[in-house]
Chains A and B, each alone.
Chain A
Amino acid sequence: MRYRRQVAGMVLALLLGLAGTPGLMAQSDVVPAARREGKVVVYVAMREPIFNVVKKIYEGRYGVQVEEWRSSASGILDRVLTETRVGRWLFDVAEGTTETMQVLRDAGAIGRGPWPPIEGLTVPWRDPTLPPPYRVIADAVIYNPRLVPAADVPRSYLDLLDPKWRGKIVMADPQRNVTIALWLHWLRNVLGRDYDRFLRGFAEQSPAFVGMDPLVPPKVISGEYPIGITLLHYVPLFRAQGAPIDYARINPMMAVGAHFAVSARPPHPNAARLLMETLHSRATLLALAQEGEVVLVRGVRSPIPDLDRIQIQVAQPLGAEKLQEWRRELERVFARR
């Protein structure tokens, strides 16, 4: 009798254990199916050296080939919408910002979940129809430490209005770059009553506009402009090469969410599901953080100095119409100046 109770207890524990790990049951079917599918097609905006880390983890774990097509978040949005509207479902997983993901979701191009969770996400995420952000893209004020003495480094956004920075700031064109446009809008929340003064004054500083974010760091590093506003992840990237670049420790710092989502009709659904799980896994997020990406997950430390002392605020998307209105407003504000 005692023996039977022991066996029943073990069986019950086993069943409870298996029930507590539902993925384990599904995984045994999904992995072989993914291998039969042979590949997963990803439309990705992440930098290639960083995405190679993800590829290595995924391909090493499952033996399924990753094929990627690279572009900006806007380029991916464009291609996905065009393809899906004409009935060509060629991608399995696509990357985008929160703004672009909302557009894709509303157009029915991506699934509506449920999405694999990200354990320990420190950013509240309440939209179940969109996957949580696996990383954030932060905008920072960067500077050339050989040209900007420590005492002159901006300590607040209002310091950018100092006359000594007139004609010496470079940034991506807000008419072309969504993140910069959002940054300028987001500062309204940070600066409150000082915002209007800031926006007018900043326009009078005659910042130089460049076509896209990658153009900003070389101009700061070469000394053409001592101050720039661009993506934070360029700082560790160029510092690793020995370049004179750093970021101003201004609190808070704005970021936009970056997401991967599965297509509404993926040609390789099992491979796509495994890729999503890989992207949201702690191992991947740790690896991404080590490469300089900003990952808002408990216990994941960034190698970017002092980032743990900066409050990262994930900006809420404006939506396509409001964004367009805001850009028109910026065009009037920055009209030659």
Chain B
Amino acid sequence: MSGRVLAGPRPWPSVETGTWVAVAIGVLVAFLTLYPTLMLFYGSVSDAPLGVSGRWTMAHYQEAYSDPKTYRILGNSLLFASGATAFSMLLATVLAWITVRTDAPGRGLFELIGLAPNVIPRFLVATSWSLVLSPRIGLLNRGVLQPLGLPALNGYSLGGMMFVEGLVLTPLAFLILSAALRAMDPALEEAGRIAGSGILDVTRRVTIPVMAPAVIGTATLNFARAIESLDIPVVLGMPVGIEVLSTRIFREALATLPPNHNLAATYAVGQLAITLTLVGMYRRLTALSERYATITGRGYRPRVIHLGRWRYLASGVALAILGLLVIVPITVLVYVSLIPYYQVPSWEMLSQLTPRHYAFLLQSNRVARALQVSITLALGGATVAMILASLVAYFTVHRRVRFSGILEGLSFVPWAFPGTALAVGLLWAYAQLPLPIYGTLWILLISYVTRFLPYGLRAMTSTMVQVHRELEESSRVCGAGFWSTFRKVLLPLVRPGFLAGWAILFTIYIQEFSTSVLLYTPRAEPVGPLLFHLWEDGQVGEMAALGILVSTLCVVVVAAARRWMREPAATL
């Protein structure tokens, strides 16, 4: 008898669940980000608008980039973004360190109210500061500097723009950095102290290098936000002729008749190149993630540094920062919500205070409907975005699948575009799809998740990079599959980052304007467009009152998230 063995059917190659998940996430992120981006890219090389067949052309690039003025304006933009980023990082780092790592009194309060400015519409923040820093009627100038014989400060300047934009950028940076500080194992710092180094030495030689990925990542994030900022350059730069790229895009492309989306897309492609360069820099700097792993299997508890009598100074510094971030715009907002019309404070005006703008909120069906829509979108959108961000962060930072660089790059792509241009891209992308997305709430949810995914991603990668793989490996060795490990081991460890990102996304979504205003449907007007329309209709007091209401809601949500963040992490 022959000993030949017949070959049976070949078994399927076993593919791990995690790989399937990685591929699925990659496809989803690619669709969400590339589809509207490709539509815009197509628009930049077509000579016809959406829905009209056209021919290839480079005429838009010639128009946009052959004008020497474009480069001067680009220089303004880079200078503006650099100054705003540097200022915001200084404030956020100091505030985060004081709040999370010291025993300064009141730090619980600092953390809570440090997030409040994030919900105030940016154009209102700019307008508030223009009331304070206007050389003619500014409260600071008329109330303090001029009586003291000091020269007036001028908010209508590049410096003024950097200052206010820096304040607007600070809350997000503060949230990410405080989450990263909270997740940091202080064992290294303790070792430094035991070896005889002082607090400042330990901070400089241990804390800062460990925090470097989070700091650099946050700075990258803020720089890109500042580059695409429109509200503050419009309010503070335009009156004195200071132009940046975003205002030029608006002037040249979107305010023409009819709007020239092809030209807007062309400028936006340029902004994309800048942001992708930033992403590339960031990834190179955080390539060696194990170097920064501090959450290990040994168990940890973030430790507070005792400052002694310096803690009161620390509290004073934090309060001063919060005064700039919160007290000034909130005070102006409260004031505007209580006066019959916009006016510099005076004794006469104080006697005319009225609650009628708040009464309007209670009586208006439109306001009730807008709150319902925005809260639904914020809750759902933040949750979806953070789950997606967690998975993306896992595969790009922690597990580093083969296409992790592409995946992370894709997540940042929509963010390179000005909000209005991205809204146009989304409009073009989904208006043509034969699916019931355009004209429903779904398009808003998709736009929010698409546009702000990098925010959640930054919160997650900054934290995820500090989790050592040994914890995951231990779980796998014990027989847990991908989802069990992800859900029961990783997510609890990165909970501070998850909740921090969730909270920040909630506050962003609830007031989101630049994509909502183009994509919302009749009878589903979110809060962001409603605030703008109230302002456009001269109902400034009502707008301010609604701003206060939404701010309060966000503080409550952030407080709840913060409470969950505080619970000790599980240890193995």
Residues of A within 8 A of B (CB): 41-42, 47-49, 67-71, 74-75, 77-79, 81-88, 90, 99-100, 103, 170, 173, 175-178, 208-212, 214-215, 217-218, 221-224, 234, 237-238, 241-243, 320, 323-324, 327, 336-337
Contacts and interface: CB of A to CB of B under 8 A. Distances in A.
Given A68-B522, A215-B235, A238-B538, 18 more contacts: A67-B522, A67-B523, A69-B520, A70-B529, A74-B257, A74-B258, A77-B257, A81-B258, A83-B431, A103-B257, A211-B235, A218-B540, A222-B342, A222-B343, A222-B344, A224-B136, A224-B137, A337-B241
A82 B262 CA distance: 13
A242 B520 contact: no
B50 A243 contact: no
Nearest to A107: B258
A243 B533 contact: no
A99 B257 CA distance: 8
B492 interface: no
A113 to B, nearest CB: 22
B75 interface: no
B136 A223 contact: yes
B257 A173 contact: no
Contacts of B239: 170, 208-210
B342 A221 contact: yes
Interface in B511-561: 517-518, 520-523, 525, 529, 533, 535-540
Contacts of A241: 340-341
A304 to B, nearest CB: 15
A242 B256 contact: no
Contact of A82 (B235, B427, B439, B529): B427
Nearest to B135: A224
Contact of B137 (A99, A210, A223): A223
A218 B257 contact: no
B308 interface: no
Given A74-B259, A242-B352, A214 B536 contact: yes
A82 B536 CA distance: 24
Contact of A69 (B438, B522, B535): B522
A100 B258 CA distance: 8
Given A69-B522, A214-B535, A234-B538, A77 B51 contact: no
A159 B522 CA distance: 45
Given A85-B51, A175-B255, A243 B238 contact: no
A186 to B, nearest CB: 16
A237 B538 contact: yes
B259 A176 contact: no
Contacts of B258: 74, 77-78, 81, 100, 103, 320
Given A41-B522, A223-B136, A208 B535 contact: no
Interface residues of B, number: 49
B259 A88 contact: no
Interface in B136-170: 136-137
Contacts of B517: 71, 75
A221 B538 CA distance: 12
A79 B518 contact: yes
Contacts of B134: 224
Contacts of B538: 47, 214, 217, 234, 237-238
A75 B519 CA distance: 11
A260 B47 CA distance: 30
Nearest to A69: B522
5 contacts: A42-B522, A81-B49, A170-B239, A222-B343, A242-B352
Contact of B234 (A49, A88, A103, A211): A211
Contacts of B342: 218, 221-222, 243
A3 to B, nearest CB: 59
Nearest to B538: A237
Contacts of A336: 241
A316 to B, nearest CB: 15
A214 B250 CA distance: 18
A74 B535 CA distance: 18
B251 interface: yes
Binding site of B, secondary structure by majority: helix, strand, loop or mixed? loop
Given A79-B518, A218-B342, A223-B137, A175 B257 contact: no
A317 B25 CA distance: 51
B50 A82 contact: yes
Nearest to B541: A241
Instruction: Pick from B134, B257, B344, B518 the residue with the most CB of A within 10 Å.
Output: B257
Contact of A173 (B50, B131, B251, B340): B251
B164 to A, nearest CB: 15
Nearest to A49: B537
B149 to A, nearest CB: 22
Contacts of B15: none
A78 B428 CA distance: 11
Nearest to A318: B257
A74 B424 CA distance: 14
A70 B533 contact: yes
B257 A85 contact: no
A84 B52 CA distance: 11
Interface string B32-61: 000000000000000001111000000000
B537 A47 contact: yes
A238 B251 CA distance: 29
Nearest to A100: B257
Given A71-B517, A224-B137, A173 B431 contact: no
Contacts of B200: none
A70 B438 CA distance: 17
A238 B538 CA distance: 8
B20 to A, nearest CB: 35
A48 B366 CA distance: 10
Contact of A86 (B250, B431, B539): B431
Given A67-B523, A210-B239, A221 B343 contact: yes
B49 A85 contact: yes
B197 interface: no
B521 A69 contact: yes
B435 interface: no
Interface string B335-357: 00000111110000000100000
Contact of B518 (A75, A217, A237, A243): A75
A77 B49 CA distance: 13
Given A69-B521, A82-B50, A88-B431, A209 B238 contact: yes
Most chain A CB within a 10 A radius of its CB, from B438, B517, B537:
B537
A156 B299 CA distance: 79
A90 B522 CA distance: 10
A78 B521 contact: no
Nearest to B342: A218
Interface string B223-265: 0000000000011001111000000001100011111000000
B432 interface: yes
B427 A175 contact: no
B271 to A, nearest CB: 19
B439 A90 contact: yes
A174 to B, nearest CB: 10
Across chains A and B, which 4 residue pairs bring their CB atoms closest together, nearest first?
A85-B51, A67-B522, A208-B239, A243-B341
A202 B413 CA distance: 44
B137 A86 contact: no
A82 B428 contact: yes
A287 B276 CA distance: 54
Contacts of B535: 214
Contacts of A173: 238, 251
Nearest to B137: A224
A242 B49 contact: no
B257 A238 contact: no
A256 to B, nearest CB: 12
Contacts of A238: 341, 538
